[in-house]
Amino acid sequence: MSWNAVRVLIRGIPMLIATLITLTLVTFTLSSLSPIDPALQLIGDHASTSTYVQVRHELGLDASWPRRLGRYLAAVVQGDLGVSRSTGQPVRDDLARVFPATVELATLALIMGGIGGIGLALLSARYPRGFIDGLARIISLAGNSIPVFWLGLIALFVFYARLHWVGGTGRLSDAFEYTVEMRSGFVLFDAWRSPMRGALGDAAAHLILPVLILTSYALGNITRLTRAALLGEAEKEYVMLARAKGAGRTRVLLRHMAPNVRGVTLTVLALTYANLLEGAVLIETVFARPGIGRYLTTALFGADMPAILGATLLIGACFVIINGLTDLAVRLSDPRIQ
Amino acid sequence: MRIPRSVSAFFGAAVLTLAAVMAIGAPWLAPQDPIRQDIGNRLQPPSRSHLLGTDSLGRDLLSRLICGSRPTLGLVALVATLMLPIGLAIGIVAGFFGGWIERWLMGLTNVVMAFPQLVLALAFVGLIGPGLINAALALVLTGWPAYARLARAETLVLRRTDYIAAAEMQGITGWRLLWGHVLPSCVPSARIRLALDMAGVILAAAALGFLGLGIRPPTPEWGMMIAEGSRVVFDQWWVAAFPGTAIFLVSLACNALADGLRDLGDPRHE
């Protein structure tokens, strides 16, 4: 590692930590401003005032806010997110159980969107103003304009209810839902490991539609930004020089231009991944798939404050960490930025 | 006329104008009362008397669609009028004064920029209480950093230009300088970004409505109408299909407008 790399890390990591702390401050502020009273939720409306005061004291709600903030920060750092009101389990365990499903969904969508998006961008940069270029523009425009939850609903209607091409809602059919043991939380992996015949195919049939919907969402951003970056490179002198020396258009594109936009592409992929984790919240609700999104929306309706805060913190932390690490990776890999 | 030079800008502006007219004139344009129930005629397919059909309570979908534009577009307008000034003010102040003010303000900007907008908006509305104003506040609180970055970048360039120096020599300083000479130069790029962001705000607003965190029923709202339609989507697809199409069209118009404005502002565009 060069000195430069060390300097980038020394500057970047405190910023990352500061962002994470600010995120915790935001969730703490939200919980303090909320009209939801955890003590009242615990004991109900009919308890006596003395019980109420006692429960408030036990929950630490009567302390001054700097002290409560201190306790909250200390608990979050130790991974203690409280106990969910609706499941009765520690929020940390709940999240550990549901998060793999969301990661699976978002990762598959990112892989497909990444391959498709970069491919489309390269093709449209190779043949600007051609058919593919027009197609790429339409895809990216539509991908940024369609409400994903609605697209999911319509896709369910067409491909499941009418055409019977794919599985319906949920992650497995009823026959497998209670027989396949969810050990890792990644449904494809667990179905593959399961002795049940046909479980893997069933899991894939239920997974394909939500993944494709999220892919269409990812595809738009990846195509648009990678294409713009490539077109920006096309006007530079080194491209003209390489062409003058006799390199073909395809070779210039793949060997000269593409490496120069890797910083942009890396950033776009990371941002898209973070957005996919967020988009999965809505898709999981539409497709009734267990995951952090469905956990969060269920918690929202149950006014389950620890679960809401825990899920928000987890998604937020992933978001912040992905953003921060990408920034560092781009700085480290691209000598021009240093 | 200048606008037709860009087809997409023209399309975007036209659709948005139509949508705005529809929202403003909704009570007069709607053929029927959007909240009047008629259980005998529930879930009717599109027909002469109900051009877009009826929902599960027999309410006329066309009327609900027209009136449902109000909360969605109102929220977008509210977010835009709050988010833009906040972002621009922070960016201009940071860029113009420099030093520790700039370091702190841009530090805050970068921190907020890294937050997940939709999830924080969900948590905000879920914990503070559902409703249009809370949803708008949540989107504003996470949405301003992009404008702050834009405005700071523009201001940094402007600070070194001769015409700012000339204005200062004429005795124009402080807020008058920022308001009258720096701000106008930041507006064009912020305007493009705003059109882009509005597409995202419409989708976020619809998502909140879909999850039941927006306006209260029975007042129609597009996201909530999709949620109502999702329960019957396998048999009566039109209940969910039309409000989704409306969201898609308005959001598409914002994106097209942003695209067109960018092309018009770009001198390389022929």
Condensed to tens digits (0 to 9), the pLDDT of residues B106-149 reads 888 888 887 888 888 888 888 888 777 888 888 888 888 888 88
What DSSP string describes A8-54?
Answer: HHHHHHHHHHHHHHHHHHHHHHHHHH-S--HHHHHH-TTS-HHHHHH
Angle, alpha carbons B215-B219-B221 (nearest 5°): 65
Task: Label residue B269 by pLDDT band (50, 70, 90).
Answer: very low
Question: How many helices and strands in chain B, by DSSP H and E?
Answer: 12, 0
A235, closest residue in chain B (CA to CA): B268
The pLDDT of residue A108 is: 92
Percent helix / strand / coil, chain B, rounded to 5: 75, 0, 25
> What does the pLDDT read at residue B232?
73
Q: Which residue has the tokens 């930041």?
A: B186
CA-nearest residue of chain B to A318?
A: B116
Mean pLDDT of A23-44: 78
Q: With a CB-CB cutoff of 8 Å, which residues 119-158 of chain A face chain B?
A: 141-142, 144-151, 153-154, 156-157
Distance CA A24, CA A70 (A): 11
Give whole-number Cα distances, A271 to A121, A199, A321, B84, B113, in Å. Answer: 17, 33, 11, 23, 11
Question: What is the pLDDT at residue A67?
Answer: 81
Mutate to test the interface with A, among B103, B122, B234 (most CBs of A within 10 A): B122
- What integer pLDDT is reported at residue B58 of this predicted model? 65
Residue B44 is given by DSSP the state P
Q: Which residue of A has its CA nearest to B225?
A: A150
Residue type, A51: T
Find chain B residues with C-beta within 8 A of A27's C-beta: 123
Distances (CA, A) of A241 to A138, A175, A245, A258, B25: 32, 63, 6, 16, 59
Q: Chain A contacts of B229, Cβ < 8 Å?
A: 153
Average pLDDT (B180-196) is: 80
- Chain B partners within 8 Å of A305 (Cβ): 127
Look over chain B and give the mean of its residue pLDDT values, rounded to a whole number: 80
Over 90: is that where the pLDDT of A111 sits? yes
Q: Tell me the average pLDDT across A145-156.
A: 87
User: Would you state the structure tokens that stand for residue A139, as one six-digit string?
Assistant: 């895809």
Asked if B147 and B190 touch (Cβ cutoff 8 Å), the reply is yes
pTM for the whole structure: 0.84
What does the alpha-carbon distance between residue B178 and residue B193 come to, in Å, rounded to a whole number?
Answer: 21
Structure confidence at residue B5 (pLDDT): 63
> Are B233 and A324 a contacting pair at CB < 8 A?
no
Condensed to tens digits (0 to 9), the pLDDT of residues B56-78 reads 666 777 778 888 888 888 888 88
Query: In angstroms, rounded to a whole number, what is the distance separating the alpha carbons of residues B25 and B21?
Result: 6
Chain B hits for A320, CB-CB cut-off 8 Å, are: 114-115
Q: Measure CB to CB from residue B244 to each of A18, A150, A316 and give the nearest one.
A: A150
**Chain B residues inside the 8 Å CB shell of A19:** 110-111, 114
The whole-number pLDDT of residue A114 equals 92
CB A323 within 8 A of CB B114: yes
Phi, psi of A196 (to 5 degrees): -65, 130
C-beta of residue A282 within 8 angstroms of C-beta of residue B210: yes
User: Which of residues A132 and A111 earns the better pLDDT score?
Assistant: A111
In eight-state DSSP terms, residue B179 is: I
